[in-house]
Amino acid sequence: MSVMIPSPQVVEMVGELGFDWVLIDCEHGGISLESVELMAMAAERAGLSAAGRPPCADPSAILALLDRGLHGIQVPHVGTAREAAAVVAAARFPPAGRRSLAVGTCAGGYGLRPRTTDRAAAQAREVVIAVQVEDAAAVEQAPDIARVAGVDVVFVGPSDLSASMGHPGDTAHPDVLAALDRFCRQVQEAGAQAGTAGGLAALRHAEGLGVGYFYTHLPTLLQLGTQALDPAAFRAPAAPWH
């Protein structure tokens, strides 16, 4: 489930509804670092894995989210294997990467937990690294990106992909679906997990492709819930001031 609004309560509800994980979207959403930390705490309380999408692939943006205690990172606008390798370096502690180790953060238990070396080793093993390709040109690089050591998921944004192919917003266009099919097959053949997003139709299509990293958006969930109800049954009589 992707959440773009700063709300720990929504994150807890996502966990109570039985979702596996939540993506805290700081690229398109209006979420501050303070809210990210509170939302990460809410995810922990709900038994929910939490990943974050930074606004860009800058190492400082990646570090800022991981220091808030997130379990994974989904970095947008990664178009080459070289850029993917830079993301891995920013998300991993030395010697595997160049991530700065600060013990006084939420991720570090505020420096109150023993054995910092054990914590660093555990985070090096457990942090999921997803890189996001955005357009048709980057999709062609997907196999090389998937082979980069440390990349767990290569994700394609269906909306940006459709726009780059001349079908903005038409994620069900045959050309877009064909590109998505090719992308998922090549990524998985290269040894990484393929990822994408969308509604129910996209979910069914992704399941058929063997995609294991998939999310929908909070407004989509609300819309589906509304469509399942009869709005007239919940319509109150007109208020006296109408």
Given 28, 167, 173, 205, which residue is catalytic? Answer: 28
Look at residue 207 in the predicted model and tell me its pLDDT: 92
- pTM for the structure as a whole: 0.88
Q: What is the pLDDT of residues 52-69, one digit of tens each?
A: 999 999 999 999 999 998
Instruction: Report how far residue 55's alpha carbon sits from residue 24's, in angstroms, rounded to the nearest whole number.
Output: 11
Residue 93: pLDDT above 70? yes
Instruction: Work out the burial of residue 170: count CB atoms within 10 Å of its CB; fewer than 13 is exposed, 13-18 middle, 19 or more buried.
Output: middle
Instruction: Report how far residue 238's alpha carbon sits from residue 110's, in angstroms, rounded to the nearest whole number.
Output: 53
Beta bridge partners of 130: 74, 153
b/e sequence 9-35, b meaning 16+ C-beta within 10 Å? ebbbbbbeeebebbbbbbbebebeeeb
* CA distances (Å), origin 93, targets 65, 96, 109, 132: 14, 6, 16, 21
Task: State the average pLDDT over residues 11-17.
Answer: 95
Q: What is the pLDDT of residues 178-198, one digit of tens each?
A: 999 999 999 999 999 999 999
The rounded mean pLDDT for the chain is 89
Domains along the chain with CATH numbers? 1-76+93-126 (3.20.20.60), 129-220 (3.20.20.60)
As given in the structure block, the two tokens for residue 49 are: 């894995």
| Residue 28 appears among annotated catalytic residues | yes
Instruction: Report how far residue 222's alpha carbon sits from residue 219's, in angstroms, rounded to the nearest whole number.
Output: 5
Lowest pLDDT segment from 55-59, 101-105, 208-212, 235-239: 235-239
